[in-house]
Amino acid sequence: MAKQTVEWRQDGIDPGWFIAEGIGSVRSSKSYNRPGGWWFLPAWLPDVEEHDIGPFRSKALALSEAERLTADHHPQSQS
């Protein structure tokens, strides 16, 4: 099973916000005005605070966990 490469795009206005098609968004605590680190909002859930996952200590950890959770949630999309 080959791992897909995910392209995270930085938001054009907010430097602490990263978006990946079909995965969701990851935002820094400063950008999101929430304490604790980085936060992930899955693309398959409504954009409400109770669906935020985190906080994560680093951006790399948040991005990695976002990709892992998406693969777990959509196992058929992995090939």
pTM of the model: 0.84
Compute the Cα dihedral for 30, 33, 39, 42 and give only its sign. Answer: negative
- For 8-41, how does the pLDDT look when each residue is reduced to its tens digit (9 = 90+)? 999 999 999 999 999 999 999 998 888 899 999 9
Rounded CA separation 66/39 (Å): 9
- CA angle, 33 as apex, 53 and 6 as ends, to 5°? 45
Distances (CA, A) of 10 to 21, 23, 25, 27, 73: 12, 14, 10, 10, 24
- For 51-65, how does the pLDDT look when each residue is reduced to its tens digit (9 = 90+)? 999 999 999 999 999
